[in-house]
Amino acid sequence: MPQPSAPRKALGRPPRISREEVIETARRIVDTEGVGRLTMRRLAMEIGSTAMALYHHVRNKEELLVLLLDDYAARTLQRPELPAQPRERIVVAAATIHEALAACPWIVEVLTADDLMSTSALWFVEQIVDGLVECGLPPERAVHGYRAIWYYTAGEIVVRTTAARRRTDDDRPTYRERAFAELDPSELPRLAQVADHWAPLTAEDTYLEGLRALVDGLLTPR
């Protein structure tokens, strides 16, 4: 990996492409043609290089996607006016991250990679942890609380967008549909009762309600 501020003249063959150029070009491809069109060869061609050359600037494709996400976050994640009340501040901070992430559907492949810990997201993490501490949680429980919020948020996005993707590229009945069709009302009465409304209920966006519940639960002394 290149050293940005080498004290002396750079050693070795001078690079013809940079990590920034790779990321920028990748972003352009993703923006205009979707993440499905982003392949290493295609990206290399666009840059005027070879696929393997990219691997000197990016560890692998997954890292490239993480960098893209970082880049995306840095460009679009605005810091909103947060409410003064700490509990509400937590909710708004988490919801803002959630909204930003939900807006880029190609995120799933990356989201599972790690905590979302791009530099631009750290501020939101700070707000959440700080809010939890201000509400009376000791610091380590605040960190645990943040993690719970992150699990919930990441899970919502991953499950939801994958389900959506599956729906678009496949018409056959899903497991869920089959399972509900064969459902035995005497053994699973509640599910039988709501079976008809399951799909629409599931389609509703209830992220915020769940988030509020979670935050409330985290803050209620046990």
Partner DNA sequence: GTGAGTTTCTATACATGTAAAGAAAGTAGC
Partner DNA sequence: GCTACTTTCTTTACATGTATAGAAACTCAC
Q: Footprint of a copy of itself on this chain (CB under 8 A)?
A: 59, 66, 70, 108, 112-115, 117-119, 122-123, 125-126, 129-130, 133, 139-140, 142-145, 147-148, 150-156, 158-159, 162-163, 166, 172, 174-176, 179, 182-183, 187-191, 193-194, 197-198, 201-202, 204, 206, 209-210, 212-218, 220, 222
Cβ proximity of 143 and 129 under 8 Å? yes
Q: Which residue, 17 or 192, is less far from a copy of itself as judged by CB?
A: 192
Q: For residue 26, give the DSSP letter.
A: H
Nearer to DNA (CB atom), residue 55 or residue 150: 55
Residue 143 CB: number of other CB atoms within 10 A?
16
Residue 163 CB, nearest approach to DNA (Å): 18
Structural tokens at position 103 = 């807006």
Count of alpha carbons within 13 angstroms of residue 82, beta-carbon side: 24
C-alpha 48/C-alpha 59 separation (Å) is 19
Which of these, 14, 23, 63, lies nearest to 43 by C-alpha position?
23
Place of tokens 């599931």: 202
**Binds 168: which of a copy of itself, DNA, none (CB < 5-8 Å by kind):** none
Q: Please identify, using beta-carbon distances, which residue of 39 and 193 lies nearer to a copy of itself.
A: 193
Instruction: Give the distance from CA 119 to its chain's centroid.
Output: 14
Which option in a copy of itself, DNA, none does residue 45 bind, with CB closer than 5 to 8 A by kind?
A: none
Q: Residue numbers of the site for DNA (CB under 7 A)?
A: 1-2, 8-17, 38-42, 49-53, 55-57, 60-62
